[in-house]
Amino acid sequence: METPNEADLCFPTINNSCRRTPHPELESTVIYILLSTITVLTVILNLLVIISITHFRQLHTCTNFLLLSLAVADFLVGSLQMPFQIFYYEGCWLLGDILCIVYFFSGYLSVGVSCGNMILISADRYIAICDPLLYHSKVTTRRVQVCICLCWISVIVHVSWIMRDFVKQPGSFNSCVGECVLVLVHPEEGIADIFISLVVPLTIITVLYLRVFIVAVSQARAMRSQISSVALNPSGTMAKKLELKAAKALGVLVIVFIICCSPYYAFALSAENNQVDPSSGDVEVWLIYFNSCINPIIYAFSYPWFRKSIKHIVTLQILEPDSRDSRVL
């Protein structure tokens, strides 16, 4: 029979085993149910976004391709990061060194790609609002696809470089058996990573959207002052309204992203300076993961095409012949 001390160990038969993090039974049950629900919603909702944009030809626009790339990153969070984080809730990593590498790699990848996509989305809205006459000549499907590919490739290269020592010697930073810890051998690289993956992207995003906001407000005022001329140019006025509406919806997306990510990177910067314990950031980690669940909800409230697409998917109308050409806009 196990002694109480042995029961608290991740691996009772190993002397150097890590200890479990004790939690009250009721608290653990509530946490597991809540986090599991968020995980399932994240996977399902982002899968609906991916199916919608890839299936319906009418949704094959430059902006939607950026949303598709973001949804793929969010889907990775829901299908990999969240289950790993739930599994690691009690402080015991039982999945081995290889999956520990996958855990950190996919985490860095999904967050980095999300930041890159937010920059591209902000740039897309900046051109659409601030330089609308040249939007279709500057922002083409091919250029957007190239930018998305470059975003993913650059993040993969960056993460591979950051994790190079960890990949060569997985588990070498663990203080006990049953731990999954990544320690950057060169602390300056951790600080540089924070600036590259957060400070610079957030600065670019903020500057672009402040410019978009200023121009959008001025355009909205101009539209109200010229309301009597709508009959003379209804199509142009409607186009401006649609662009402003899209800028508003994507602006909410960007603001929520900044709110969810900032606490995590503030914590990470403090951890790099040894001001806090690196293992105490579960809330900040889950907040940044929760952003992946919020994004599709923002689409549902902001875009009628997403609601129509969900209806087609749930009712299995996408299985009908020529469903790719259905009108969802």
Q: Over pLDDT 90: what percentage of the chain?
A: 24
Cβ atoms of 52 and 322 within 8 Å: the answer is no
Mean pLDDT value across residues 207-222 = 75
Q: What is the pLDDT of residue 285?
A: 81
- Residue 148: which pLDDT band, with cuts at 50, 70 and 90? very high
In a domain, 185, yes or no: yes
- Residue 238: which pLDDT band, with cuts at 50, 70 and 90? low
Closest CA to 257 of 197, 189, 182: 197
Residue 41 in this model has a pLDDT that exceeds 90: yes
What does the alpha-carbon distance between residue 124 and residue 119 come to, in Å, rounded to a whole number? Answer: 9
| 3-class DSSP assignment, residue 178 | coil
In a domain, 246, yes or no: yes
Please indicate whether residue 257 or residue 55 has the higher confidence score (pLDDT): 55
Residue 250 in this model has a pLDDT that exceeds 70: no
What does the alpha-carbon distance between residue 86 and residue 68 come to, in Å, rounded to a whole number? Answer: 26
Q: Read off the DSSP letter of residue 319.
A: G
In a domain, 18, yes or no: no
What does the alpha-carbon distance between residue 295 and residue 276 come to, in Å, rounded to a whole number? Answer: 30
| pLDDT (tens digit per residue) in 156-208 | 998 998 888 888 888 777 888 888 888 766 667 777 777 777 778 888 888 88
Cβ atoms of 244 and 286 within 8 Å: the answer is no
Cβ atoms of 134 and 127 within 8 Å: the answer is yes
Q: What is the pLDDT of residue 223?
A: 61
What does the alpha-carbon distance between residue 74 and residue 38 come to, in Å, rounded to a whole number? Answer: 12
In a domain, 9, yes or no: no
Report the number of distinct structural domains present in the chain.
Answer: 1
Give me the CATH number covering residue 74. 1.20.1070.10
In a domain, 14, yes or no: no
Please indicate whether residue 72 or residue 126 has the higher confidence score (pLDDT): 72
What does the alpha-carbon distance between residue 275 and residue 158 come to, in Å, rounded to a whole number? Answer: 26
User: In the numeric block, which tokens belong to residue 197?
Assistant: 């993956």
* Residue 159 domain boundaries: 29-224+233-325
In sequence order, what E strands does the chain have? none
**Region for residue 21 given its phi and psi (left: phi exceeds 0; alpha: psi -120 to 50; beta: otherwise):** beta
CA atoms within a 13 Å half-sphere pointing along the CA-CB vector of 35: 23
Q: What is the pLDDT of residue 4?
A: 44
Backbone angles phi, psi at 177, to 5 degrees: -75, 125
Q: What is the pLDDT of residue 156?
A: 94
| Helix, strand, coil abundance in the chain, percent, nearest 5 | 80, 0, 20
In a domain, 117, yes or no: yes
In a domain, 3, yes or no: no
**Which of the residue ranges 129-133, 194-198, 249-253, 273-277 has the most confident prediction, judged by mean pLDDT?**
129-133
Mean pLDDT value across residues 77-87 = 91
**Which of the residue ranges 79-83, 92-96, 254-258 has the most confident prediction, judged by mean pLDDT?**
79-83
| 3-class DSSP assignment, residue 109 | helix
In a domain, 1, yes or no: no
Cβ atoms of 205 and 122 within 8 Å: the answer is yes
